[in-house]
Amino acid sequence: MGAAEAKYDVFQAVAEPTRRKILKLLSKEEMPIAAITDNFPITRNAINKHLFVLSEAGLVSSRKAGRETRYRLEPEPLKELQEWLSFFEVYWDNKLQNLKDYLESDGGK
C-alpha cells in the first residue's frame, strides 16, 4: 500500500452506524467535535476515532477555527458507493415488477 493511499475506504467508513449518523449531522452544517459529541452517548475520544476513519476515507474534512477544529462533510467519495449500489438496482426493479405483476394477476386476489 502506497503512502498516499487511505487506510479506510468509503465502504468501511459507512459500515458503522455511528459514522453514518455523524455524516448525517455534518450534511446539515459544519460542526466542532463538542457539538458532534453532544448527539451521541459515547465519549469525545470515541467520536474522534470515528472522525479519523471518516477523514481517512475522504468523507469529512477539518479546519481550525480559533481553538476548535470544525468538521464538514465531503460528499464526493459517496459517489463510489452510489455507483456500486446502482449496479444492483436492476435486481430490485425486477423483483418489484414481478410483485406488481403477481398482485395484478389472478394470483394476487
Query: How confident is the model over 28-76, as pLDDT tens digits?
Result: 999 999 999 999 999 999 999 999 999 999 999 999 999 999 999 999 9
pTM beyond cutoff 0.85 = no
Measured CA distances, 57 to 9, 24, 38, 54, 100 (Å): 5, 16, 23, 5, 39
Burial code (b: 16+ CB inside 10 Å, e: under 16) for 70-88 equals bbebbeebbeeeeeeeeee
**pLDDT given for residue 108 in this prediction:** 54
Query: Quick one: fold of 1-75?
Result: Arc Repressor Mutant, subunit A (1.10.10)
Extract the C-alpha cell encoding 66: 480559533
